[in-house]
Amino acid sequence: MAVATDESGSNFLELRGASKSFDGLKVFEDISFSLAPGLIYGLVGPNACGKTTLLHSAMGLTRLDSGSSSYRGSDVTKLKPYSIARLGLGIVLQNVGVFHRMSVRENVLTGLPARRAWTCGAADTPSRPVGEHVSWALEQVGLAGEENCMAGSLVPGEQKRLAIARALFSAQDLLLDEPRKKILCVFIAFFFGKPYEILNKPRYLLFMRQCFFEKILD
């Protein structure tokens, strides 16, 4: 596979020779790929073939046994997940991971340190307040007007959408672990839709499913 680069010549998300085992059982071995900007990628395979582990490895949630990973030209093989997030990469996990005792708005704002890191604070000016970014992200997932609700009061489907809003707010590039069809459509609409004037759209999107790509988009 050819290595995809941006205008500056830096690689986007890239894995080279990645291998991972648990207790002697090989999950994947010698995996290499790179992602080009402006595209949506699908990682397809049967249950328990290592898709989630591969995404977790790219995000630093699981340490590779061998091989390397890089994001936007930076070697992130040994970085912690929060350090990778501050470079602009985000992930939406299978488990929701929202804070039940915090409000919807507060949950989205937990992504603020990561957002400020990769935007270098450019988004936090008087003409572009953070609140506008939060409201926009919640609007994209159908939670507009719910900012002050406690996350624990939301039904599971709404909590999943809240996790998506947090990802849209905090990251410039996204990884999705087992998105449902409706959730995937939210991201595709966001990816191909009209750019919001004060937000940077994700440059690429990698998701993985157990079914075929054509089936998802049907």
Contacts of 161 (CB under 8 A, 6+ apart): 141, 142, 143, 183, 186
For residue 193, is pLDDT > 70? no
CA–CA dist 114, 141 (Å, integer): 20
Contacts of 109 (CB under 8 A, 6+ apart): 130, 134, 169
Q: Is residue 55 part of a domain?
A: yes
Q: Is residue 138 part of a domain?
A: yes
Instruction: Give which of 137, 132, 154 is closest to 198, Cα–Cα.
Output: 132
Tokens 């988004």 found at: 123
Q: Is residue 8 part of a domain?
A: no
For residue 1, is pLDDT > 50? no
Q: Is residue 3 part of a domain?
A: no
Domain extent, residue 140, equals: 14-217
For residue 8, is pLDDT > 90? no
Q: Is residue 31 part of a domain?
A: yes
Q: Is residue 9 part of a domain?
A: no
Structure confidence by residue, pLDDT tens digits, 166-191: 988 888 888 877 666 555 555 555 55
Q: Is residue 213 part of a domain?
A: yes
Q: What is the CATH number of the domain that holds 79?
A: 3.40.50.300
For residue 213, is pLDDT > 50? no
pTM over 0.85: no
Q: What tokens appear for 176 in the block?
A: 């999705």
Number of domains present in the structure of the chain = 1
Q: Is residue 32 part of a domain?
A: yes
Structure confidence by residue, pLDDT tens digits, 45-58: 777 888 889 889 99
For residue 85, is pLDDT > 60? yes
CA–CA dist 218, 202 (Å, integer): 23
